[in-house]
Amino acid sequence: MGFLHRNRGLSPYLLLAPGLLYLALFFLVPLGFLAYQSLQSGTFDVGYAFDWAWGNYWDAIRNYRGHFIRSLQYAGIATLLALLLGYPLAYWIAFRGGRWKNLLLLFIVAPFFVTYLIRTLAWETILADQGPVVGFLRDIGVLGSDGRVLATSTAVVAGITYNFFPFMALPLYVSLEQIDQRLIEAAQDLYASKWKAFLRVTLPLSLPGVVAGTLLTFIPAAGDFINAQLLGSPRTHMIGNVIQSKFLELTDYPAAASMSFVLMAAILLMVAIYARVVGTEKLTG
């Protein structure tokens, strides 16, 4: 104790140390290694060597541009869908949930006690061509008599939306739940309609939740490959599938590493634009 008393200035750093150490060890070091690997050339059989092979990046963009674009598209649509589905749900739980709030939140989280892979495989069964869901969609004419859901981009986007839904719904709930009800009452006292009170009071106050949810959904979704692999077809593969196959199947580490960096850059760019449009102060609330 004596030491900390005498060196008060040090204590914030000491408190930060475990977190910083963790980030340095498990984020910066691997990232640095990945960057090093992305500039190597060679083959798996003879080994890879570092030689500033910037061509890896050029190849990644030139050969897989379509996959990058598709990944950002799918992730964007899924994020939007999750927001449209999640906002009313979070709103309802926060303002009308009453004593059932915790139980209702548990319902959102409950499926996630099962692993990601199993949940996605379950959708493979639910959406099976000969299954009841697709049968019903055919009966009501949404799908043609020979139509299917699996192995289409719809299934991939729906899978991503489902799998990342809690990352959207929970931050939304937190920001909505914190809103002081009296502010809305005050707006209505001042003759704002319910709709106007929502637009001018509730929505702006919940923006931090919207921003957090959007980022938490969009970023992992853009790099996802499980949904495209299990629910998609070769035509709906995302950049994650290519990186996975380069890493694990072709064991072409430089190509996979450089693609990971291109993906990272693309996501950062999108996030920067988004933050610019929404306003950075909304990120932190």
Binding site for other proteins (CB under 8 A): 43, 45, 63-64, 66-67, 125, 128-131, 148, 150-151, 232-235, 237, 241-242, 244-252
Choice between 170 and 243, CB closer to other proteins = 243
Cβ neighbors of 111 (< 8 A, separation 6 or more) are 119
Shortest Cβ 116–other proteins spacing (Å): 17
Shortest Cβ 239–other proteins spacing (Å): 10
SS3 78: helix
Choice between 64 and 74, CB closer to other proteins = 64
| 8 A C-beta contact, residue 162 and residue 82 | no
What CA–CA distance (Å, rounded) separates 22 from 18?
6
Choice between 202 and 244, CB closer to other proteins = 244
Give the helix ranges, DSSP H, for the chain: 2-6, 11-23, 29-38, 55-96, 101-109, 116-126, 132-139, 153-177, 181-189, 194-197, 203-222, 226-231, 239-244, 253-278, 281-284
DSSP-derived letter for residue 234 is G
Choice between 152 and 188, CB closer to other proteins = 152
| 8 A C-beta contact, residue 205 and residue 55 | no
Choice between 11 and 43, CB closer to other proteins = 43
Q: Partners of 42 in the beta sheet?
A: 48
Shortest Cβ 21–other proteins spacing (Å): 24
Shortest Cβ 164–other proteins spacing (Å): 22
Shortest Cβ 242–other proteins spacing (Å): 5
